[in-house]
Amino acid sequence: ENSSERTHLGVLFEKYVPRCLDALLKDFKPVTPVTDISVVETICRILDATLDPKLVPKGTPIEIIEMYFMYAAIWAVGGPLFADQLVNY
């Protein structure tokens, strides 16, 4: 694992996760209660599944990694929402 990629993932967590958690708390009502740690864990699990070295080789542009991160964050936050809230999300 490349340390610059690891550093960039840390930056992405700091940039997006607080906003996502805040939006989940203030703007949406999930189907079931969702804890902050479960959202972060879901992001990590999705990233673990999608950032497979065979699919995302070393040297992949950071912008692509950020797209994978956003995909994970969208599903981690949007997955437990009521269907009628998905339009706003």
Q: 24-41, pLDDT tens digit by residue? A: 899 888 898 999 999 999
Question: What pTM was computed for the model?
Answer: 0.85
14-41 burial, b for 16+ CB within 10 Å, e for fewer? Answer: eebbeebbeebeeebebeeebeeeebbe
Contacts of 26 (CB under 8 A, 6+ apart): none
If you average pLDDT over residues 17-30, what whole number do you get?
Answer: 91
If you average pLDDT over residues 11-35, what whole number do you get?
Answer: 92
Average pLDDT, the chain: 89
If you average pLDDT over residues 59-73, what whole number do you get?
Answer: 93
